[in-house]
């Protein structure tokens, strides 16, 4: 069974250490460790290999930059998501953190609640994977499965999926305005039939109650639906070539 989301906290303020520990527990994740200085954090992250590392910039000894740099240069915990949570939130610090490998950046004075929501989203994603591993079957209602593994903020795996799409089919406006939809599209990408059903559900208002998507979002969804159709056609073509009835005369 997959373990709960493992979170390591690099933070020197005791009150924030307690706040984040409570938020991690409330999300159903586990606190794998906590440190107020850079060197201890680097060593413990190497040993524990957490799934998510929350990093403050100003520490009792060293800095969050030291932690990010060590993780990047030494390839420590390469699969971990690195999120910076700091009061030093100007553009220069944001850019430096991004260059050092930070996946997310949160302004501690304004965006702590968003950081907590991010923890909840990742923990929910992990639980969904666990549920699939221990016996979720495709015969279950796929709509309920979908709702259980998506969130109201854009997940890292969704951003990575969007980047793999051809430029003309990247759903960037959709991801910004409707992250829940973008998360679901990414989750269903390997299951083309369910994906096309979901896109049809979005594009056809059968109940007559939908307000409608903004033009840019609607255009992206139609384009992605057309792109998905090429996979269906290709699959049917291959199938017809393999069958006796599909052989050319």
pLDDT in tens, 109-134: 999 999 999 999 999 988 887 776 66
Kindly tell me if the per-residue pLDDT of 100 is higher than 70: yes
Q: Which domain holds residue 148?
A: 139-244
Same domain assignment for residues 84 and 192? no
What confidence category does residue 50 fall into, taking pLDDT thresholds of 50, 70 and 90?
Answer: very high
Separation CA 180–CA 150 (nearest Å): 6
The residue from 96, 124, 152 where one domain ends is 124
Residue ranges of E strands in the chain:
6-10, 30-35, 52-55, 81-86, 104-107
The pLDDT value given to residue 69: 97
Same domain assignment for residues 152 and 47? no
**Mean pLDDT, all residues of the chain:** 85
Same domain assignment for residues 179 and 231? yes
Same domain assignment for residues 176 and 110? no
The pLDDT value given to residue 21: 96
134 domain residue, yes or no? no
Same domain assignment for residues 144 and 233? yes
Kindly tell me if the per-residue pLDDT of 94 is higher than 70: yes
Model confidence over 58-77: pLDDT tens digits?
999 999 999 999 999 999 99
Model confidence over 171-228: pLDDT tens digits?
999 999 899 899 999 999 988 888 888 888 888 865 555 567 888 999 999 999 888 8
CATH of the domain at 48: 3.40.50.2300
3-state secondary structure of 37: strand
Overall number of domains in the chain: 2
Same domain assignment for residues 22 and 100? yes
Sheet holding 81-86, edge to edge: 30-35, 6-10, 52-55, 81-86, 104-107
Same domain assignment for residues 11 and 108? yes
């Amino acid at each position: 069974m997959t373990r709960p989301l493992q979170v390591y906290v690099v933070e020197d303020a005791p009150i924030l250490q307690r706040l984040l520990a409570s938020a991690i527990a409330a999300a159903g994740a586990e606190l794998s460790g906590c440190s107020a200085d850079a060197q201890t954090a680097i060593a413990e992250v190497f040993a524990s290999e957490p799934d998510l590392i929350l990093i403050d910039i100003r520490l009792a000894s060293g800095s969050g930059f030291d932690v990010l740099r060590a993780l990047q240069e030494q390839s420590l915990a390469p699969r971990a998501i690195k999120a910076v949570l700091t009061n030093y939130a100007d553009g220069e610090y944001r850019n430096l953190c991004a260059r050092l490998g930070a996946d997310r950046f949160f302004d501690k004075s304004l965006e702590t609640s968003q950081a907590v929501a991010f923890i909840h989203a990742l923990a929910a994603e992990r639980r969904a994977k666990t549920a699939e591993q221990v016996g979720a079957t495709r015969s279950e209602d796929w709509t309920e499965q979908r709702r259980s593994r998506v969130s109201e903020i854009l997940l890292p795996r969704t951003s990575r999926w969007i980047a793999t799409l051809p430029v003309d089919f990247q759903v960037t406006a959709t991801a910004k305005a409707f992250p829940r939809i973008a998360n679901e599209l990414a989750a269903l990408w390997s299951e083309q039939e369910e994906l096309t059903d979901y896109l049809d559900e979005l594009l056809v208002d059968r109940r007559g109650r939908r307000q409608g998507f903004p033009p840019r979002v609607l255009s992206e969804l139609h384009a992605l639906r057309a792109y998905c159709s090429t996979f269906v056609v290709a699959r049917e073509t291959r199938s017809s070539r393999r069958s006796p009835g599909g052989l050319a005369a």
